[in-house]
Amino acid sequence: MKENYQYNDHHLKLLQLLQENPHLSQRDASDVMGLSLGKVNYILKAFLDKGLIKMNNFRNNKNKLSYTYLLTPRGIEEKARMTLHFYEVKKREYEALRAEVEKLGDSLESLEA
C-alpha cells in the first residue's frame, strides 16, 4: 500500500458498511452514504485494486448483478488503521473546539462583569 495514499471518511464508512452487510448493492451503499453511484463504484474499484476487498458473483442467482463484498485480512487491517486515524483527527478537532468554546465563555464572562 502506498504510504502517501490518503483515505477519507467515505472510504472508512464504505468499509464499515461492507463488513456489516457484504451483500449490500452499490446502489444501496450510495443511498446510505449520500454519494453518487459512480463514486461508490470508483472507491470499490480502488479497494479491489489495493486488495482490501474481494468481490464474488452469485452465479446461481437469477439477478446476475448480485455481488458480495468481503474484506480481506489486508482490508480489515487497513480499516483498523483508518479507524484509528479518524479517531485521532476527530479528537484533535474536538479538543480545538472545546478550547474555542472555553475561550468564548471566558470572553462572555468578562463582558458580564
Q: Which fold has domain 9-112?
A: Arc Repressor Mutant, subunit A (1.10.10)
pLDDT tens sequence for the chain (113 residues): 444 456 789 999 999 999 999 999 999 999 999 999 999 999 999 999 999 999 987 655 565 567 899 999 999 999 999 999 999 999 999 999 999 999 999 888 888 76
70's CB contacts (< 8 A; 6+ apart) are: 18, 22, 53, 54, 55, 56
**pTM for the structure as a whole:** 0.76
Domain residue extents for the chain: 9-112
In angstroms, rounded to a whole number, what is the distance separating the alpha carbons of residues 70 and 72? 6
Distance CA 39, CA 36 (A): 5
